[in-house]
Each structure stands twice: as C-alpha cells, then as structure tokens.
Copies of this chain bind each other. A is one copy, B any other.
Amino acid sequence: MYRARIRVTLKKGVLDPQGNTVEKSLHAMEYTNVTDVRIGKYMELTVAADNRESAEQQVKEMCQRLLANPVIEEFTFDLAEAKS
C-alpha cells in the first residue's frame, strides 16, 4: 500500500485569478512583502500496488487522465509506504 501526495498547479504563464485575489487579500492584511501567489490542488490517496514502480505508474496515469488538466496544469507527486 502506498499513500500518494499529489500537487496540481497551473503551468507557468497561465493566468491565476485566484492567486491574484489571495495576494490582494494578503496585502490588505499588511502582508505587503508577499508576491507571486499561485493556487493549485492538493490530493492524497491510497493505492494498493505490488511494488513502488507499479504504484508510481498508476498514480502518474491517474494524474494524466483525470486529476490534472494537461492543457493548463502540471503535476508532481510523492509516494510513501502506507500501513495496510
């Protein structure tokens, strides 16, 4: 069993209105030293697999097919062994 921690973020150059809104809110709260706020999705899931390579391959596929929009998003993830 493996626990995957997945980060889906907008590709560089893609506008991030959500990030801009949060940045403005932080500035309004006196955190004017904050820049370049980017907002994405964070997902965790448990995958049963025979080995790490198989788990890695499956999580990569899930990201490519469902969890990330390949046109505007990119993803990274890490795997940790999970107690069964």
Q: A34-B48, A37-B44 are in contact. List 8 more A-B contacts (CB 8 A).
A: A7-B7, A22-B66, A26-B66, A31-B58, A37-B43, A38-B43, A38-B44, A39-B43
12 CB < 8 A contacts A-B: A7-B7, A9-B42, A9-B44, A26-B45, A31-B62, A33-B47, A33-B48, A34-B46, A36-B45, A37-B43, A38-B43, A39-B41
Interface size on A, residues (CB 8 A): 33
CB-based contact A65/B29 at 8 Å: yes
In the bound complex, residues from chain B placing their C-beta under 8 Å from that of A39 are 41-43
In the bound complex, residues from chain B placing their C-beta under 8 Å from that of A41 are 39-42
In the complex, A49 has a CB within 8 A of chain B = yes
